Amino acid sequence: MNRIITISREFGSGGREVGKRLADALHCAYYDSEIEASIAQNMDLDESYIARSVENGILANIPLHFGRTIASTRLYKQQVDILVEKRKVLCQIAAASDCVIVGRAADVILAEQNPLKLFVYASMEHKLARCQRYEETSAASPKALEKEIRQVDARRARYHGMFSPIKWGDRANYHLCINTTGLEIKQLIPHLAGYAQAWFAMNGR
């Protein structure tokens, strides 16, 4: 069985950076938006459209005024197809090689592969400071940014809830919960990589 690491993360906590650097340190594949690109290609749909479905849940692409029309039924079906395709892509990825997967409820979808499940989080102050360093979020006011952070996390929790009754962010669901507040992620990686290797060795891989 391959060594799979899943990373769940609060928005702005640096979970993606943890994943990317950990994959580099362990010389294994890294998957984030590549998952939507693959689904988009397989289904001949737009990648950003898939991303909205994958991260925001089944209703994200369906306008509120749609009602019970034939068009809405088709759209619902398409959303379910996207979820089915996503599960398929995640399973293909996990079967192909050792890898790190960020988000996408991979922790519960790939439960049978017994992945090492990490949760990355930080204080709101730290998350705000981190978001302000990135172009796409730096223009927002701290108040608007804080609202966005809470909204993104609420969407992630809701999405996770579609696949499992296990609560997103509940430490019981993870093997290691990492608070990045005030830390430089780069400095943590050798120790996290070592921890991951020890964990896999103790789990027969």
Is there binding between residue 123 and a copy of itself (CB under 8 A)?
A: yes
Which residue has tokens 């005030």? 182
Is there binding between residue 188 and a copy of itself (CB under 8 A)?
A: yes
Given the rule CB under 8 A, which of 55-63, 103-111, 151-159, 176-184 is the region that contacts a copy of itself? 176-184
Is there binding between residue 152 and a copy of itself (CB under 8 A)?
A: no
Q: Can you tell me which of 2, 111, 195, 205 binds a copy of itself, judged by CB under 8 A?
A: 195
Residues 6+ apart with CB under 8 A from 99: 2, 3, 4, 5, 23, 28, 29, 30, 31, 93
User: Site for a copy of itself (CB under 8 A): how many residues?
Assistant: 28
Is there binding between residue 30 and a copy of itself (CB under 8 A)?
A: no
Given the rule CB under 8 A, which of 18-26, 29-37, 55-63, 166-174 is the region that contacts a copy of itself? 166-174
Is there binding between residue 147 and a copy of itself (CB under 8 A)?
A: no
Is there binding between residue 201 and a copy of itself (CB under 8 A)?
A: yes
Q: State the residues that interact with a copy of itself by CB under 8 A.
A: 119, 121, 123, 169, 171-172, 174-179, 181-184, 187-188, 190-192, 194-195, 198-199, 201-203
